[in-house]
Amino acid sequence: MIVFCGGFSNSDVLGSAKGWAGAFLFNPKAKETLDRFYARKDTLSLGICNGCQLMIELGLINPDYEKQAHMLHNDSHKFESAFLGLTIPQNESVMFKTLGGSRLGVWVAHGEGKFSLPYPEDKYNVIAKYTYADYPANPNGSDYNVAGIASADGRHVAMMPHPERAIFPWQCGYYPAERLDDEITPWIEAFVNARKWVEAQK
């Protein structure tokens, strides 16, 4: 499994994922390595925030689509940082399938988080949506309120919110009072699912 992490991973500027993508596209050895990884059937990948932008820029989620998704500047034209609600729809993904039907809190922190999706929603394996359509609950104006999508086979996920920043209840801006004794939040289940899947490939 490879994880493309967020937090201005390539450089501390907006749009840095485009430069990061260029490091793969214009380096033959890096491009060949990446292509070989994605050609395998026993791999997973996850892109968070800046990493999501990278995966979308490289067309790693729906490589066979004639028209590719794009990540655009937030409709607010501002960097948005907030603790928001996500709904995890029923989905076919390795990491998030068992969380289908959940409503979970998570942090967002991005300036270019708007999913621009050229096809109808049912053409995408959506793994997370902002629970409410209007700003600021949808912080960027993403089509269909999408916060994350997976490849058709469910192995590769690109999402803008940061579940890794909400693994423990004390990290959350809000946590249900009746569950304050939880040692970890339900977000950890996605990473446990990934580990179990990888183990099963041996």
- Say which of 49, 52, 57, 172 is annotated catalytic: 49
SS3 label, residue 110: strand
Q: Is 32 a catalytic residue?
A: no
Sign of the torsion formed by the C-alpha atoms of 132, 165, 193 and 121: positive
CA–CA separation, 162 and 191 (whole Å):
13
CA dist 136 → 48, 52, 53, 79, 90 (Å): 20, 20, 21, 12, 24
SS3 label, residue 21: helix
CA–CA separation, 113 and 49 (whole Å):
8
CA dist 35 → 19, 40, 163, 187 (Å): 18, 9, 27, 29
- The angle, 0 to 180 degrees and rounded to 10, between the axes of the packed helices 16-25 and 28-39 is 90
- Say which of 52, 112, 156, 162 is annotated catalytic: 162
Q: Is 70 a catalytic residue?
A: no
Q: Report yes or no: 184 and 164 within 8 Å, Cβ to Cβ.
A: no
Q: Report yes or no: 169 and 182 within 8 Å, Cβ to Cβ.
A: yes
- Say which of 112, 156, 164, 172 is annotated catalytic: 164
Q: Is 164 a catalytic residue?
A: yes
Residues forming the active site: 49, 162, 164
